[in-house]
Structure 1
Amino acid sequence: MSAPRPPAPPAKASGLRRHRALLARLAGGPAPEAVILGDSLAAGWPGPDLEAATGCPTLNLGLPGDRVQTTRWRLAALAAFAIRPRLAVTMVGTNSFADGDGETRVIAGLAALLAALRAAWAPPVIVLATVPWRESPPGRSEADRLALNAALADLADREALLLLDCDAALGPDHAAGLEADRLHLNACGYAALSGALAALVRGA
């Protein structure tokens, strides 16, 4: 298996500012019962939809632009807060995929992220989201994305995680759940994922 990319901070100053804002929000608010970590797909999840799906107050710690290694770097700082969420959702990987990282490197990074998440907060339930359909970035194909998602399903099995299968949730017309950029989710897409997440959580 390829070695994971080492943890790295957000590449843009705006990302660092938003990260600091999330730290302040975690420090100044009540301890959340659930958290979501990841990239813009996580960050853009509407709060009411997310909390209806998790069934409890949920803190969105997503950050646009995150790669797996960025979420790992941010978690190291977030872990300073001794919260004990009963549910954690991770939704990160589409940007690493676009960067050209193969599935073994992405999976190695996610395995390290999961280990850090459990060491920091010990959530009894962790949901791992697959990479939703997207317009294939240069040098990548739909077969590459499907191979990554198959590897994510294997990781979920090995780590006893709940798998949020985004393709199954969004249905055969994947583009209907996406914005015009064919990358980010629209309201219909988030509604579909919220329904799938709710079903997972109810069955846990």
Structure 2
Amino acid sequence: MARLAAGPAPEAVALGDSLAAGWPEPDLAAATGLTTRNLGLPGDRVQTTRWRLAAMAAFPLRPRLAVLMVGTNSFADGDAPEVIVAGLADLVAALRAAWAPPVIVLASVPWRAAPPGRSEADRLALNAVIGDLARMQALRLLDCDAAFRPDPATGLDADRLHLNARGYASLSAALASLLRTG
């Protein structure tokens, strides 16, 4: 919470898991053109991001933009796509109630090494329902699969889950493009 109390109020915020937390603030600021605060936290699942938002809602922020990048841990833990998307819908509602950002970007779950019991088809099915949620909720969808073409593995660290500098550069370019055209 100290990150919210320190310095000027951000015009953009990023929320989510380790993939969000690892996104360098200077890259986010360059992609958005706004002062940005990265509020991602490694290990977050969809519901823990929502709980953290409830605690942060006391801070009177009014960001113009929020980027949500969360879901890979819920996916890896075996949550059904419908459960993850219902949690994302609740998170979006809580975000709108707390800070009312006029623009919300929802990121799909990027390619990763398949966790035990999950397949690439499972991840693609999850991303399809995330895309449906984005359309139904008037969110902008950051399509991580498109951002990392042609070879998503080149944007990943050796653990085949977390993004490397090249991955964040690709994601930042895709976010900048999305915001310019959206």
> Structure 2: where are the runs of 5+ without partners?
none
Deviation at 1:28, TM superposition (A): 2.3
Equivalent-residue separation in structure 1 for 2:90 and 2:180 (angstroms)? 27
Deviation at 1:172, TM superposition (A): 2.4
Deviation at 1:194, TM superposition (A): 0.3
Q: Which residue of 1 aligns with 2:120?
A: 142
1:197 corresponds to 2:175: yes
Equivalent-residue separation in structure 2 for 1:27 and 1:64 (angstroms)? 20
Amino acid at match of 2:14: I
Q: Which residue of 2 aligns with 1:68?
A: 46
What is the TM-score normalised by the length of structure 2? 0.99
Instruction: Indicate the SS of the match to 2:141.
Output: strand
Of the three residues 74, 77, 84, the one matched with 1:96 is: 74
1:80 corresponds to 2:58: yes
Equivalent-residue separation in structure 1 for 2:132 and 2:79 (angstroms)? 18
Equivalent-residue separation in structure 2 for 1:28 and 1:181 (angstroms)? 33
Q: CA RMSD in A?
A: 0.6
Equivalent-residue separation in structure 2 for 1:165 and 1:58 (angstroms)? 21
Deviation at 1:48, TM superposition (A): 1.5
Deviation at 1:203, TM superposition (A): 2.1
Equivalent-residue separation in structure 2 for 1:82 and 1:47 (angstroms)? 21
Equivalent-residue separation in structure 2 for 1:26 and 1:107 (angstroms)? 27
Of the three residues 100, 124, 130, the one matched with 2:108 is: 130
Q: Which residue of 2 aligns with 1:116?
A: 94
Equivalent-residue separation in structure 2 for 1:179 and 1:193 (angstroms)? 14
| Count of equivalent residues | 182
Instruction: Indicate the SS of the match to 1:29.
Output: coil
> Structure 1: where are the runs of 5+ without partners?
1-22
User: Percent of aligned positions with the same letter in both sequences?
Assistant: 77
Instruction: Indicate the SS of the match to 1:138.
Output: coil
Could you give the per-residue CA deviations for residues 20-42 of structure 1, whole angstroms, max 9, x where no partner exists? xxx11201221100000000000
Of the three residues 172, 180, 191, the one matched with 2:158 is: 180
Deviation at 1:49, TM superposition (A): 1.0
Instruction: Indicate the SS of the match to 2:38.
Output: strand
Could you give the per-residue CA deviations for residues 54-110 of structure 1, whole angstroms, max 9, x where no partner exists? 111100000000000110110001100111000000000000000000100000000
